[in-house]
Amino acid sequence: MRHLVLLSVLATATFFVGGCSRAIGEGAGLVLGAKGTYIPTQPLAASKEARPLGAYRRFELGPITDGIGGKVPAGLLGYLPAELDSQLRSKKLPNDPAGKTLVLRGEIIHYESADLVGIALGPLEQVIVRMEMVDKETGSVLAVANCVGRTKEGVNLGVKSKAQGLAKAIAGWIDNRYPQDQRVD
């Protein structure tokens, strides 16, 4: 009997702690929004500079194609340009229309929406895009990375949040390769 009571108390405590951590995660998700990360698959060529994108004064979103057979909602690519502009501004990256331009183009290689089971267990939605950094003038591909937009909280489910996470990934990829002393205010 004593073991049964102890097991019951432990199960109840686990339920409440799990519920609290989920509530904390949802609150953080409401404030922070979707998450974005990138995984370089073809890094920028070795250079003397630690941040080799300093020559670029403009970052332009190029075409992004659906490489998974029409499973991507049209709204994702509709939200992405504004989300990316917002993320680039937040990182104080330049946007000089007359400056040297880096085009960011890609192909969607994975798209996942949360299903009912996923929502109950902890939602996970994500989009993965194989992105290329391309010099607009020469057409040369400078680098390639898989950029991931991910939502793990119920408050962030949906196409717009995945676009926000994807924009964070793309902007972070540029940000980590752009000189601090060339930022704009």
- For the structural domain made of 34-182, what CATH number should be given? 3.30.160
Per-residue model confidence as pLDDT tens digits over 28-55: 333 346 899 999 999 987 666 668 899 9
For the chain, domain boundaries: 1-32, 34-182
d(CA 80, CA 156): 15
Tell me the backbone φ, ψ of residue 62, rounded to 5 degrees. -90, -165
Beta carbons within 8 Å of 16's beta carbon, 6+ residues apart: none
Residue 31: exposed, middle, or buried by beta-carbon count in 10 A (0-12, 13-18, 19+)? exposed
Residues of the chain with pLDDT under 70: 1-33, 46-50, 114-123, 153-156
pLDDT of residue 26: 42
pLDDT of residue 64: 96
User: pTM score, two decimals?
Assistant: 0.78
pLDDT of residue 157: 78
pLDDT of residue 30: 38
CB 35 within 8 A of CB 152: yes
